[in-house]
Amino acid sequence: MAGLRRDFACMLSDRLPALAGSFIFDTMLDKEKVLVKRIIVLLIVVIALLAGCTDRGGQSDGVASDFSLKDMSGKTVRLSDYKGKVVLLEFWATWCPPCRASVPGLEKLHKAYKDKGLVLLAVSMDEGGWDEVQAYVKESGITYTVLKGTEDVATKYQVRSIPMMLVLNKEGKITKRYLGMGSDEDLETDIKASL
């Protein structure tokens, strides 16, 4: 019986740091540690993916705020100049992988609908030099209008993550807001509904 008490006391003293507030991870078996690590990594990946998901809910009927931004040639472009046209307004950056991945689909939409009343304005949120953006536009074969974004415009449009796209109808009202990289099919459907 004394041996059992001694073993229990030894076991308890080995566990006291964990019971006294030491990280519970120390008391786990190696297999349990690996499982917990995998679960944590999986949760991080899921959260990261969800952060870039498209918001297909809650349509906004608010009128888009007007802005004046410079295009790649230095010309001032005003959103209000496109009243009467459907505008796809994209906030993006050259360093953003989902933004880069969306370029071919946006270029395809631009070419298919530009003669039917669609205007695509891509607002670059790059903080570096404009030369880098111009080089990327040339390299990627972008033919739609690229504008140099400002913090003021990003604040007006509540840009918290990129890519972010807005479909504006002919009256300048926001009809759809996409957070993250949406599907080209859904975007095309929303554009066609506004044309």
Domain count, the chain: 2
* Distance in angstroms (rounded) separating the CA atoms of residues 139 and 163: 19
Token representation of residue 181: 């990289």
Tokens 């499982």 locate to: 35
Q: What is the pLDDT of residue 180?
A: 84
Cα separations in angstroms, 21 against 37, 47, 118, 163: 20, 29, 61, 43
The parent domain of residue 34 ranges over 2-51
Q: Are residues 115 and 180 in the same domain?
A: yes
pTM over 0.75: no
* Distance in angstroms (rounded) separating the CA atoms of residues 97 and 102: 9
pLDDT digits (tens, 9 = 90+) for 117-156: 999 999 999 987 788 999 999 999 999 999 999 999 999 9
Q: Are residues 47 and 74 in the same domain?
A: no
Among the residues of 20-129, which ranges form H helices?
A: 30-51, 97-113
Q: Are residues 106 and 154 in the same domain?
A: yes
* Distance in angstroms (rounded) separating the CA atoms of residues 131 and 115: 29
Domain CATH number, residue 138: 3.40.30.10
